[in-house]
Amino acid sequence: MTEVYVLDGTRIRTLEDFWRVMGEAVNGPGAGGSFGRSLDAFADCLGGGFGTPDDGDFLVEWRDHRVSREHLGYPETARQLEIRLTRCHPTNRPAVAAGLAAARERRGATVFDWLTGIFEERAPGVLRLR
């Protein structure tokens, strides 16, 4: 039987909100479990065995995803890249700074795009946008 995890897009305004809402969907409210707190960890979690079924038989239904898409747009992308710029390795700073400049000019991938891209790369067909 396919496990279905439901994300309430009206509760996702920041990337940090996404981590919380996704963790609650998979592990239950108040369970304290997470489902990644970084893009790399999230990609690993989608591979199964971190709360999702090991056989990969699950779906994620992202309800009201349009609300999330708006909130996870360019301003949130710029905010996340500003944070990343303060923490990244010096050799990565030029690439992060270029991404930040693009986000400020409303160009390039957004946080929403990052997340949906990881779904497609690591668990194709699992994400249902509603």
Within this chain, do residues 34 and 67 fall inside the same structural domain, yes or no?
A: yes
Within this chain, do residues 24 and 81 fall inside the same structural domain, yes or no?
A: no
Q: Among residues of the chain, what percentage have pLDDT more than 90?
A: 75
Q: How many CB atoms lie within 10 A of CB 68?
A: 27
Q: Which of 16, 13, 9, 20 is closest to 83 using CA atoms?
A: 16
User: What's the structural domain count of the chain?
Assistant: 2
The whole-number pLDDT of residue 48 equals 67
The whole-number pLDDT of residue 35 equals 74
Confidence label for 31 from pLDDT (cuts 50, 70 and 90): low
Chain centre distance of CA 57: 20
Within this chain, do residues 65 and 78 fall inside the same structural domain, yes or no?
A: no
Confidence label for 44 from pLDDT (cuts 50, 70 and 90): confident
**Which range among 33-47, 74-88, 113-127 shows the weakest confidence by mean pLDDT?**
33-47
Chain centre distance of CA 63: 14
Averaged pLDDT, 3-29 = 93
Within this chain, do residues 7 and 55 fall inside the same structural domain, yes or no?
A: yes
| Boundaries of domain holding 95 | 74-109
Average pLDDT, the chain: 91
What SS3 string covers 46-73?
Answer: HCCCCCCCCCCCEEEEEECHHHHHHHCC
Within this chain, do residues 15 and 59 fall inside the same structural domain, yes or no?
A: yes
Within this chain, do residues 98 and 78 fall inside the same structural domain, yes or no?
A: yes
How many Cα atoms are found within 13 Å in the side-chain-facing hemisphere of 46?
24
* Beta bridge partner(s), residue 61: 6, 128
Within this chain, do residues 102 and 41 fall inside the same structural domain, yes or no?
A: no
Q: Which of 108, 20, 26 is closest to 68 using CA atoms?
A: 20
